[in-house]
Amino acid sequence: MTLLQLRKRTMTLAGSVMTVYLIFHMLTNLSFFSAPAFEQFYAVYNQAWIRWPVLALVLIALFIHVRAAVAIRIKNSQARRVAYKKHDKLHIPAPLVTLSIVILLLFILVHIGQTLLIDTSQVRAAMLNWFSSGWMLLFYLAGLLILAMHLLHSLVNVLQTLGISSTMYRLSISTGVVVLTAGFASVPLYIWMTA
Ligand code: HEM
């Protein structure tokens, strides 16, 4: 296996860990719609032996994923004499794709920073407070939109690498990403609309 292939595998593995976490996080966020279930979940989840290892795992996976992605990009741009003007079939200018990834990274880091500042016995109140602001709602919706585009693009790429080009798989990926994004977006939208 070449170094490039190893980096790609590492990036995919770290990305998969984050995807599993995202599905779990979205499902537990949905418990917001039942106050007792939400309180019960966070009372268990916010015990130090669960919360900190999960956060460490996500941060390590994020670091490995980004580091491998940067290394692959550098290698690819060294091998390419003429830079891409457009990124893949969607014809999105390459600098815009880079910018969106940087914004996504910032969104994740700002979000984690925000969660570290909240009183863990008052998670529901903190969420109500965050999304009573239209700016915060917009910030989250923008982050979620970029996350959805990133997931769509990268999961289809993983399929391609595995040699799977079936429309059924593509469709299931698109449906999965839409459901994930809608699940995440539902809580801030609900809070903002009912605030
Ligand atoms: C509408 C969207 C989201 C909402 C409302 C939300 C809400 C929350 C809340 C309330 C916590 C704090 C839990 C605690 O008490 O420790 C948290 C933690 C966290 N969130 Fe989110 N989140 C959202 C989207 C995301 C996304 C898209 C990502 C990643 C890409 C993410 C990554 C994390 C991480 C890494 C933590 C810290 C680890 C943990 O405590 O689980 N979140 N989120």
CA of 110 relative to ligand 1 center, distance in Å: 10
> pTM of this prediction?
0.92
Q: What is the mean pLDDT of residues 165-192?
A: 94
For residue 162, is pLDDT > 90? Answer: no
- Give the per-residue pLDDT at 59: 98
Ligand 1 atom nearest to 59, measured from its CA:
35
Name the residue among 82, 96, 71 with its Cα closest to residue 6: 71
93-122 burial code (b ≥16 CB/10 A, e <16): eeeebeebbeebeebbeeeeeeeeeeeeee
- Give the per-residue pLDDT at 81: 63
- Give the per-residue pLDDT at 82: 63
CA of 115 relative to ligand 1 center, distance in Å: 7
Query: How far is CA 88 from each of CA 35, 113, 144, rounded to the nearest angstrom?
Result: 44, 33, 21
Ligand 1 atom nearest to 107, measured from its CA:
30
**Each residue's pLDDT tens digit, 56-106:** 999 999 999 999 999 998 888 887 666 555 555 666 777 888 899 999 999
**Each residue's pLDDT tens digit, 124-139:** 999 999 999 999 999 9
**Each residue's pLDDT tens digit, 6-62:** 999 999 999 999 999 999 999 999 999 999 999 999 999 999 999 999 999 999 999
β-strand partners of 92: 87
- Give the per-residue pLDDT at 89: 60
Q: Helix 3-30 to helix 167-194 angle, to the nearest 10 degrees?
A: 40
Q: Which residues line ligand 1 (CB under 6 A)?
A: 22, 25, 29, 42, 46, 51, 54-55, 58, 108, 111-112, 115, 120, 123, 127, 140, 147, 184, 187-188
Between 169 and 86, the higher pLDDT residue = 169
Name the residue among 80, 105, 106, 108 with its Cα closest to residue 94: 80
Counting beta carbons within 10 angstroms of the beta carbon of residue 191, is it exposed (0 to 12), middle (13 to 18) or buried (19 or more)? buried
In the chain, where are the structural domains located?
3-194
Mutate to test the pocket of ligand 1, among 19, 21, 25 (most ligand atoms within 8 A of CB): 25
- Give the per-residue pLDDT at 104: 97
Name the residue among 87, 194, 193 with its Cα closest to residue 150: 87
